[in-house]
């Protein structure tokens, strides 16, 4: 098995829920033309003005509702980009 190569990781669609100092990121990626997969991360503003990224951890009800509102589109995009 070869090591991970970022150049082979294709972002298909990004869904972002912005808050005051952070965002919930829901990303659909396909690695090397493979099946699309949904990933979650969180971006936040660091004290030095740069952006940091981390695991989403626990989610608020607002974030769950955001995910629910976008779930049909996420499923549609993933199906359209799936290998049969």
pLDDT 10s digits, 14-68: 999 999 989 999 999 999 999 999 999 999 999 999 999 999 999 999 999 999 9
Contact indicator for 74, 28 with CB cutoff of 8 Å: yes
Tokens 């990626």 sit at which residue? 29
Poorest-confidence range of 1-5, 37-41, 72-76? 1-5
The Cα 18–Cα 44 span in angstroms is 10
The Cα 27–Cα 39 span in angstroms is 5
């Amino acid at each position: 098995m070869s090591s991970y190569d970022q150049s082979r990781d294709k972002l298909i669609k990004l869904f972002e829920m912005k808050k005051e100092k952070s965002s919930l990121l829901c990303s659909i990626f396909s690695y090397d033309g493979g099946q699309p997969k949904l990933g979650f991360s969180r971006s936040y503003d660091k004290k030095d003005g740069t952006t940091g990224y981390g695991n989403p951890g626990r989610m608020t009800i607002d974030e769950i509702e955001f995910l629910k509102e976008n779930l049909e589109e996420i499923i549609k995009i993933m199906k359209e980009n799936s290998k049969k």
